[in-house]
A and B are shown apart, each in its own frame.
Chain A
Amino acid sequence: MDLLIQHLPALQVVLPMLAAPIVMLMARTPRLAWAATTLVTWLTLGVAILLAQQILATGPISYHMGGWMPPVGIEYYVDSANIFVLLIISLMGAISMPFALRSVEQEVDKTKHGLFYAAFLLANCGLLGITITGDAFNIFVFFEISALASYALIAMGKDRRAVMSSYQYLVMGTVGTTFLLIGIGFMYIMTGTLNLIDLGERLPEVNDTATIRAAFAFLAVGISLKLALFPLHLWLPNAYTYAPSMITVFLSATATKVAIYVLLRFIFSVFGYEFSFEELNMGYVLMPLALLGILIPSIVAIFQTNIKRMLAYSSVAQVGYMILGISFASTLGLMASVVHLFNHAITKAALFMALACIIYRVGSVSLDRMSGIAKQMPWTMAAFALAGLSLIGIPLTAGFVTKWHLLLAALEGGLWPVAVFLLGTSLLATIYIWKVVEAAYLKEPAEGVQPVREAPPSLLLPTWALTLACLYFGIETSLPVDMATRAAETLMGGYL
C-alpha cells in the first residue's frame, strides 16, 4: 500500500495509458470494453482524490520519473493549482462513462467500440499527463497524445461532416502544438533546461533577450490555438457539433480547460507575473481578445438552429470569461478564472448531456425538432433549463459564483465598463438559452412528428447528477472557491 501511495503521480497517467491497449483487445465484447474503461476512469478519479488529500496534508508533491533527479530527469509536480485541474478531468471522465454506454451504442458502429474506448482512455491519459507533468517537452508530447486520440474520437461521429471537422482540428491543432514546440526550443537554447521549475529560476537572467520574447509569443499563440481563444477558435464549433455526443460532453468539459491551465502555468509560474504582465503587458493583449471573444461568439450562438452548435459557440464565449479573469492580473481575477474551469466544466457537460438524451430519442437537436419536446421528455428538458440558468449565471447556481468573482475583480481593478459589459453579455446567454426553452416548453410539436419517450435512466442519472452539482456548488460554494483560491495564490507566487 505504501508503495502505491508513493507512486500515485505516476499511476494517475500510467493507469489509463496501460489500460488503453487492453481495452482495444476487447473489440469483440463492447460491453466488457465499456466496463473496463469505466473501472479505469473511476480508479483514476480515486488516485486524483488521494493525491488531493496528500497535498492538503503535506504540500506539493514532486515525483521523479524512473528515479532520475530533476532537472535532468522528468519530474511530475503536483501542487494546489494542477490538482484542481486533475480532479476536474478525472471527475468528468468518471461521470461521462456511465453515460457513454447507451449513447455510444447508438451513435458508434458496434465493431468500433473497443477502439473508441481505447482512444477515450488515451485522450484522458494525455489530458492528465499535460496537467501533472513538470517538464516542458512532456507537455508537448502529452498534448499530441490527447489530440491524436481526440481526432480519432471526433471522426467517429455519425455525420460525414465529423470527418472533415476532425481534419480541420488536426491541421489547426498541429500548428498549435508545433508553435508550442518552437517556444520550448527557444527557452531551451537560452537556459539549457526543460524542467518548469528550473526554467522559472533561470529565465529572469535572460529575460531581456529577443529570444525569450519570441518564445513567449510562440507559446502564447500555440496554446491559444489549443484553448480556442477568439479568433483562433475556428476548429471548435464543428468539432463539438459533429463529434459523438459523449465525446462532446468530455472534450467540452476538459480539453480547453487543460490548455488554459498550461497557459496559466507558463505565464505565471515559468515566465513569472512581472515578465508577463509588467514587462510585456500581457493584460493589454488578453483583455480585448477576451471581451471580443465573449461578445461575438455569444451573438453568433443566438443565430444557430443546431443547438449543439449553439452550445459550442457558447463554449468559445466561456473561454473568453476565463481569459478575462487572467487579464485582470490580480489574484481575485485569476481565482475567478480557475473556479470557472470547474463551474463551466459541470455546467457545459450537463447541457451537452441533456442534448445527448434528446439525440438518443429524437436523433437530432435542431431547434424545430425540439418544439414541444418538454412534454415528452420532461426530466431531460428540466435538466437543460436548470443547467442553462447556471450558464447564464443566475444566483444560486455555479455559474453565478464565477460571474460574481469576475465582477468583484473588475471593480477591484477599477474597470467598471468591463463590469457593465459582463452583465450585458449575460443577457446574450439568456437569449440563446431562452430560445431553446421557449421552443421546448411553449411551442407545440410539428405535425406528423412521432412523439418520443423520456430518455433511459442510465442517461438521465449522470445528467441530473451534474445538474444538481451546478445547483449544489451555487449554494455551497466553499469547496471549489477554497481550492481555486489556493490555486490562484500558488500561481501568483510562481514556483517557490
Chain B
Amino acid sequence: MEWLGLYNYWVVVVLMMVGFYIVIAQGNLVKKIVGLNIFQTSVFIFFISLAKLDGGTAPVYVEGVTDYSNPLPHVLILTAIVVGVALTAMGLALVVRVHELYGSIEEDEIHEQDGKH
C-alpha cells in the first residue's frame, strides 16, 4: 500500500483534474473562474506538501531540533497566492463588464449574440 502514503499528491491530482475539467466543460464564465481557482489551488497544495519533512518542524531555530520543513516553497506559494487573487479579481471584473455589455454570462449565449466569432 505504498501509493496510499502519497495521498497528498493524489489529492493534488484529483483537485487539478476537477479544476481543469470545470474550466473546459462549464459554459458559465464565473464557474470557469472558480475552476481556474481550484486548478491553481491544487498546485499550491503540491508545493506546500513537497516542502514538508517527516518529523520536521517550522523553520525557526530551536534547541535540540535538527529537522525543519523547507520554508522556500511556502514563500513561493505566498507570492503565487497573491498572483492568483489578482487573477481572480481581474477575471471577475471582466465578467462584470461582459454582463454589462451582453446581459448574460453564459458562453454560448454571448457567442450567439456576436454571430459566429
Interface residues of A (CB under 8 A from B): 137, 140-141, 144, 148, 151-152, 155, 160-161, 163-164, 166-167, 170-171, 174-175, 178, 181-182, 185, 188-189, 194, 238
Q: Does B29 make an interface contact (CB < 8 A)?
A: yes
Chain B CB count within 10 A is highest, among A155, A161, A163, A238, for: A163
| Cβ-defined contact, A170 with B87, below 8 A | yes
Q: Which residue of chain B has the shortest Cβ distance to A155 in the bound complex?
A: B94
Q: Which A residues are in CB contact (< 8 Å) with B76?
A: 137
B14 interface residue (CB < 8 Å to A): no
Please state if B87 and A163 are interface contacts (CB–CB under 8 Å): no
Q: If the complex has contacts A164-B98, A182-B43, A182-B46, are A148 and B29 also in contact, measured as CB distance less than 8 A?
A: no
A174 touches B36 (CB 8 A): yes
Q: Are A144 and B83 in contact (CB under 8 A)?
A: yes
- The CA of A175 and the CA of B72, in the complex, are separated in Å by 23
Residues of B within 8 A of A (CB): 20, 23, 29, 32, 36, 39-40, 43, 46-47, 50, 72-73, 76, 79-80, 83, 86-87, 90-91, 94-95, 97-98, 101-102, 110, 114, 117
Taking CB atoms, residues of chain A closer than 8 Å to B94 are 151, 155, 163, 166-167, 170
Contacts of A175 in B (CB 8 A): 20, 23, 36, 39
Partner of A185, one of B46, B86, B110, B114: B46
Residues from chain A with a CB closer than 8 A to the CB of B110 are 164
> CB-CB < 8 A to A181: which residues of B?
43, 80
Q: Tell whether, in the assembled complex, residue B39 and residue A178 are in contact, meaning their CB atoms are under 8 Å apart.
A: yes
A170, A185, A188, A189: the one contacting B90 at CB < 8 Å is: A170
Q: Choose one: B29, B39, B102; the contact of A160 (CB below 8 Å).
A: B102
CA gap between A160 and B39 in the complex, in Å:
28
Interface residue SS majority, chain A: helix
CA distance A308 to B59 in the complex (A): 54
Q: List 27 A-B contacts (CB under 8 A).
A: A137-B76, A137-B79, A141-B79, A141-B83, A144-B87, A148-B87, A148-B90, A152-B90, A155-B94, A155-B97, A160-B101, A160-B102, A163-B94, A163-B97, A163-B98, A170-B91, A170-B94, A171-B23, A171-B32, A171-B36, A174-B40, A174-B87, A175-B20, A181-B43, A185-B47, A188-B73, A238-B117
* Pairwise interchain contact A167-B95, C-beta atoms closer than 8 A: yes
In the assembled complex, the CB of A367 is this many whole angstroms from the nearest CB of chain B, namely 15
In the bound complex, residues from chain B placing their C-beta under 8 Å from that of A137 are 76, 79
Which residue, of A161, A164, A175, has the highest number of chain B Cβ atoms within 10 A?
Answer: A164
Contacts of A238 in B (CB 8 A): 117
Partner among B20, B46, B72, B101 whose Cβ is within 8 Å of the Cβ of A163 = B101
Q: Is B90's CB under 8 angstroms from A151's CB? A: yes
Q: How far is the CA of A178 from the CA of B79 in the complex (A)?
A: 13
- Residues of chain A within 8 A of B83, CB atoms compared: 141, 144
CB distance from B42 to the nearest CB of A (A): 9
CA distance A194 to B47 in the complex (A): 13
* A151 / chain B contacts, CB cutoff of 8 Å: 90, 94
A244, chain B: closest CB distance, angstroms:
15
B114: which of A144, A164, A170, A174 is its contact (CB, 8 Å)? A164
In whole angstroms, what is the CA distance A144 to B87 when docked?
8
A488 to chain B, nearest CB (A): 32
Instruction: Report the bound CA distance from A140 to B76 in whole Å.
Output: 10
**What would 12 more interface pairs be, CB under 8 Å, given A155-B97, A166-B94?**
A141-B79, A151-B94, A163-B97, A167-B94, A170-B87, A170-B94, A174-B40, A175-B36, A178-B39, A181-B43, A185-B46, A188-B50
- Measured in the bound complex, the distance between the Cα atoms of B42 and A185 in whole Å is 12
Give the CA-CA distance A164 to B101 in the complex, in Å.
10
Which residue of the partner chain A has the closest CB to B47? A185
Contact present for B50 and A189 (CB under 8 Å): yes
| CA distance in complex: A189, B101 (Å) | 46
Q: Give chain A residues whose Cβ lies under 8 Å from the Cβ of B87.
A: 144, 148, 170, 174
When chains A and B are docked, how far (Å) is the Cα of A204 from the Cα of B94? 44
Q: Closest approach, in angstroms, between the C-beta of B17 and any C-beta of chain A? A: 13
Do residues A148 and B97 form an inter-chain contact, with CB atoms below 8 A? no
Once bound together, how far apart are the Cα atoms of A202 and B67, in whole Å? Answer: 24
**Residues of A close to B29: CB separation below 8 A:** 167
Interchain nearest-CB distance for A116 vs B (Å): 15
**CA A438 to CA B23, docked complex, whole Å:** 43
What residues on A are CB-neighbors of B90 within 8 Å?
148, 151-152, 170
Q: How far is the CB of B78 from chain A (nearest CB, A)?
A: 11
Q: Which residue of B lies closest to A306 (CB)?
A: B117
Question: In whole angstroms, what is the CA distance A174 to B90 when docked?
Answer: 11
Shortest distance in angstroms between A155's beta carbon and chain B's nearest beta carbon? 6
Contacts of A163 in B (CB 8 A): 94, 97-98, 101
From A152, A178, A194, contact of B40 by CB (8 A): A178
A188 and B101 CA atoms in complex are apart in Å by: 44
Q: Which of B20, B23, B50, B91 is the one whose CB lies under 8 Å from A167?
A: B91
Residues of B close to A188: CB separation below 8 A: 50, 73
The 3 A-B residue pairs whose C-beta atoms are closest, nearest first, are A160-B101, A167-B94, A144-B83
**Whole-angstrom distance between the Cβ of A306 and the nearest chain B Cβ:** 9
A170 nearest in chain B by CB position: B91
Residue in chain A with minimal CB distance to B111:
A164
Residues of B within 8 A of A160 (CB): 101-102
Q: How far is the CB of A239 from chain B (nearest CB, A)?
A: 12
Per the bound structure, the CA–CA distance linking A151 and B92 in Å amounts to 12
Most chain A CB inside 10 Å of its own CB: which residue of B20, B23, B94:
B94
- Chain A residues lying within 8 Å of B98, measured Cβ to Cβ, are 163-164, 167
